Structure 1
Amino acid sequence: MKAHKRNPSWLSLLLVAAITAFMDPTFAQTTTAAAAYVPAEKIFLNCGASSKGNQTSQDGLNWEADFGSGYAAGIQKTVSATPSTQDPSIPTIPYMTARIFQTPYTYSFPVTPGRKFVRLHFYPSNFTDPKFVASDSFFSVSVGPYTLLNNFSALLTAQATDNNYVIKEFSVNISSNTLNLMFTPSPAKKKAFAFVNGIEIVPMPQIFVQDDVFRQPLIVGTTSTLMISEHMALETVARLNVGGLRVSPVEDSGLYREWDDDSLYMYGAAVGVTYPKDPNVTIKYPDTVPEYIAPPLVYGTARSMGPNAFVNLNYNLTWIVTVDAGFYYLVRLHFCEIAYPVTKVNMRVFDIFINNMTAVQGFDVIAYTNQAGLGVPIYLDFIVLFPNTSASPQQDLWVALHPDISSKPVYYDAELNGLEIFKLNDSTGNLAGPNPSVKLIVYQSKQEGEQKNHNRHFFTIEIGLPAAVLFILLLAFMELRRLRQGKVMLQSCVSSPSHQSCLFSVSGIKTATKDFSESLVTGVGGFGKVYWGEIAGGST
């Protein structure tokens, strides 16, 4: 689970109506020391390393070489490798050595029964041994009854997310005293091999299981809830420090999680403002929110819509995360009012939307904390289903906030401190999704880009006030031409070697946006509102 540099232009249609806006500059950011949860046992394994003893990574973690560790029986039958390219931007530990498996291999870790974080580190470089080329590496990974990865390509995943290395994080419940982690090269590919650079095993409390039936997460769009049992496995899809900088594993509250900067996931031009907690505010965890849920660094920063009520009412503060179809997802939102003057009930009230469905209407952070005041963290859990469709094996999960004015709050605003998204295993114990398809890969040749016939695209029609009259005349001319032809022109697209251009009719635009429904507003910039819609069944 590594930060994704988002380029969402392949999935949606943007239609823009005229409105000018401005946003205030972001505030300075501060940090707060995190209290530590102390795990009973933790393992950081530097795979492929030959030297015995511990080595310290840039984040200050001590990594043990897998050779001679006692976790890797028969390791001599595997290959210790180093990447052919020593990228100076890549942390040396654990990414400058790798363990390669040409046949199925199992690491065995002695553990106490309970839930564990399992983190796998991959640097998909070619190796100094020319027999091992990154593009040939396809493999599966399993822990007991759970399939974590299937026919996985670290190279395709790194390219799709625009990262040099990949971290996959899972949470699994172990009922025995041994955690067996198996790597299996994909049998369908002749030269396939498995590899791993680093393995983390970190015990964790049951942060997902809710014994209280009233706190079981709601399935968005329904009146039903879903109980996350202690036997479920989860994969971390995104973990964001909203409004703040990256939080490193050693800055986490004892679980060695990495919290990414949320800016790469923001949608549209209107991204609100970020701010730290007031110096006079202390983060005070209630009994219902232990410190290990999220560190003070996460609750101590936030992103809000900004001070302009008119602007705020005309856009949604939106995040987008790409997920695999065919799974349920747990969406966890972290909130904490951390700055004056929002200290009382009905000062800031907002609606929460997930995938264009209302998750909560009229949410008030202060009211939810029983009026405990500033600095009291809370979190909300929701479940959303992405069914398998023929459209795409990967889809976008949207989280959006919008002011709720029904109670006439003091400020028309919304805020968020942290966002986590987890995939839940299916009925067979599987968490594995497909490798990213070509249309998701950022690094493409010109020819590859031209072949994306079935991608959805972002189209923008920007109406500045000085050009509004000309734009209206142009639309009138197009509509008159349509009527004369006696046809309803839904869209007309012209392709060139570098891009595809499309013209849309007014009726087509109104249909796609449900007559410019406010529920489909996903952002606003200096040039106008941003609507979400599809034309031609999602083909554009």
Structure 2
Amino acid sequence: MFISIALYLLPPLHLFLYVTATTDYLQRYSPTDLILLNCGASSNLSSPDGRGWDGDSQSKFAASNPPEASSVFEASNQDPSVNQVPYMTARIFHSKFTYTFPVLPGPKFLRLYFYPASYSNLDISTSYFSLSANNYDLLNNFSASLTVSAIRPPVDYFTKEFIMTVWDNQKLEFVKISTVLKMPKLTFIPSPASFAFINGIEIVSMPDSFYARGDDNPLTYVGSDVFFYLYNTTALETVYRLNVGGQDISSTGDTGMYRTWHQDSEYLFRQSGNTPYLPGVKIKYTTKTPAYSAPVMVYSTMRSMGREPRVNMNYNLTWIIPVDAGFHYLLRLHFCEFRMEFKSVNQQVFLIFINNQTAEYDADVIHMSGGNGIPVYKDYIVLVPQGSQSKQDLWLELLPNMELKPTYADAILNGLEIFKLNTNR
């Protein structure tokens, strides 16, 4: 009797484990590492989004630095639109200063929070510094004051976001390798006769192979006949993350990685197209495009060209985005066709041009994703060459490809992420 009962119990348990394993792609991402450091603060405080930030006074993350290497200050005056945490306090670096963070190996978001305000008698416009993280040079002779003054529309504060990989040190470990903590170093180096500062530091882990995928998934290299291989030895700097056709999405509205998504209207060229919205749209995530890829709010809003085929054949859906010249960029385009009349392949086919070069000749969202309401994203690499100006406009254009005789003359986009590539030393 005991044996027969045991055999009877095994199948339901096995089925439970199978269902749990195969539905992971429907869940938000749960970060293995999440560090929030409120620089210059002496106690732990919460930001308006409810997240708890650790004060860095006497912090174990900064224990190796001499006391005279830095000072802490409060902003002399803080605009009401600026959150108290983490922007009210700053750590000022008078000489080289290193934070050391214990984290698990793997890719991480590194977010740096800056409020270039007045701190005591310091002239923030004279602050220039460099920043390195392990083998990556992330900032060089950087000025937060110049950066904030160049942002449009104007802001008083900003965040710099990087993606970098923390490596296993490959030493013989006497514990399970997945539990070994690594110690990435974040080093601020003031320029000569200057100083560095920071208001907040955030480190958040992400799924492996989410952006860099190496040999397993070569990327389209726009304007070239060869593929581009993006390895995790390359750091990425987030330049733009846009909820196309939708509203801003705060970090807590993201899918576990605390990314911020902004409206795209600032970057549209001339005709803005339509922004159809169907309340109650069910987004069907897949193992190829898991729920953490982008929030439902990204995939349930879009920008399309509209319902008039004659009009659509006479313009391109176009975004113009200023970027630094002389770098490679990764563009991730998010698509989800949720309008009920689009259910089959070849109903809507369009071209994708990046900087006047063909990135995709026959983009068909239903074909790429597998059906209506199913999200998908496509990655492209493009080189923005050096020019006479340090900034250049990166053009993204969509237009119907009527040579393939689709049912509708239309093109759509739901989301756009742009990253600058920075190969490590």
TM, length-normalised to structure 2: 0.87
Partner residue in 2 for 1:204: 206
C-alpha separation in 2, matches of 1:56 and 1:35? 26
Equivalent of residue 402 in structure 2, options 402, 405, 417: 405
Q: How big is the shift at 1:415?
A: 0.5
Quick one: structure 1 residues 319 and 35, their matched pair in 2 at CA, closer, same or farther if it must change by over 3 Å?
A: farther
* Equivalent residue, structure 2, for 1:182: 187
CA distance in 1, matches of 2:223, 2:319: 19
Could you tell me whether the CA contact under 8 Å between 1:331 and 1:420 is conserved in 2?
Answer: yes
1:297-446 matched pairs, under 5 angstroms:
297-369=297-369, 372-389=370-387, 391-426=388-423, 429=425
Of 247, 250, 262 in structure 1, the residue corresponding to residue 249 of structure 2 is 247
Q: 2: distance between equivalents of 1:419 and 1:159?
A: 24
Superposed displacement of residue 394, structure 1: 1.4
Aligned to 2:16: none
Instruction: Give the C-alpha shift of residue 209 in structure 1.
Output: 2.6
Structure with more contact order per residue of length (Cα contacts < 8 Å, sep ≥ 6): 1
State the alpha-carbon separation in 2 of the partners of residues 277 and 141 from structure 1. 45
C-alpha distance in 2, partners of 1:198/1:204?
20
Distance in 2 (CA, whole Å) between partners of 1:419 and 1:277 is 20
State whether residues 222 and 359 of structure 2, in contact with CA within 8 Å, keep that contact through their aligned partners in structure 1.
yes
Q: Is the 8 A contact 1:35 1:295 kept in 2?
A: no
User: Is 35-44 or 350-359 further displaced after alignment?
Assistant: 35-44
Counterpart CA distance in 1 for 2:320 and 2:67 is: 44
Structure 1 residue 386 displacement after superposition: 1.6
Opposite residue 393 of structure 2, the aligned amino acid is D
Structure 2 CA distance for aligned equivalents of residues 144 and 225 of structure 1? 28
Q: Does residue 1:104 correspond to 2:105, yes or no?
A: no
Aligned residues: 382
User: Would you say 1:91 and 2:93 are equivalent positions?
Assistant: no
Which of the residues 146, 152, 162 maps onto 1:170? 162
1:259 to 242, 258, 261: 261
- Deviations along 1:230-258, one digit per CA (max 9) or x if unpaired, are 22111111111111111111111111111
Structure 1 consecutive aligned stretches of length 4 or more whose deviation exceeds 3 Å: none
- Deviation for aligned residue 1:68: 2.9
1:157 matched to 2:147: yes
Distance 2:340 2:66 in 1: 58
Structure 2 residues not aligned, in runs of 5+: 1-25, 170-181
**DSSP 3-state at the match of 1:301:** coil
CA 1:75 to 1:286, structure 2 compared with 1: closer, same or farther past 3 Å?
A: farther
What corresponds to 1:143 in structure 2?
133
Q: Give the letter for the 2:416 counterpart.
A: L
Partners of 1:102 and 1:259 in 2: CA distance:
34
**In 2, Cα distance between equivalents of 1:262 and 1:60:** 27
Q: 2:287 is matched with which residue?
A: 287
In the aligned structure 2, how far is the partner of 1:35 from the partner of 1:251? Answer: 14
Note closer, same or farther for the CA distance 1:75–1:412 as it changes in structure 2 (3 Å cut). Answer: farther
CA shift for structure 1 position 101: 0.4
Q: Structure 1-normalised TM-score?
A: 0.69
1:149 to 1:80, Cα distance in 2 relative to 1, 3 A: same
Contact 1:72 1:108 in 2 (8 A): yes
Which letter does structure 2 place at the counterpart of 1:49? Answer: A
CA contact (8 A) 1:94 1:197 kept: yes
Report if aligned partners of 2:213, 2:232 keep a CA contact under 8 Å in 1: no
Please give the root-mean-square deviation of Cα atoms over the aligned residues, in Å: 1.6
Q: CA deviation at 1:298?
A: 1.1
SS of equivalent residue, structure 1 residue 93: helix
- SS of the residue 1:230 aligns to: coil
Alpha-carbon distance between aligned partners in 2 of 1:95 and 1:403, rounded to the nearest angstrom = 46
- Provide the C-alpha distance between the structure 2 equivalents of 1:412 and 1:387, rounded to a whole number of angstroms: 33
Aligned residues with identical type, % of pairs = 49
Which amino acid in 1 is paired with 2:228? L
Distance 1:147 1:211, change over 3 A: closer
* 2:37–2:54 CA contact under 8 A, matched in 1: yes
Residue of structure 1 in register with 2:10 after alignment: none
| Residue 225 of structure 1: how far off its partner (Å) | 1.0
User: Which residue of 2 is the match for residue 41 of structure 1?
Assistant: 33
AA of the residue aligned to 1:124: P
How far the C-alpha of 1:299 sits from its partner, in A, is: 1.0
**Is residue 319–residue 399 contact of structure 1 (8 Å, CA) maintained in 2?**
yes
Question: 2:367 is paired with a residue of what secondary structure?
Answer: helix
Q: SS at 1:250's partner residue?
A: helix
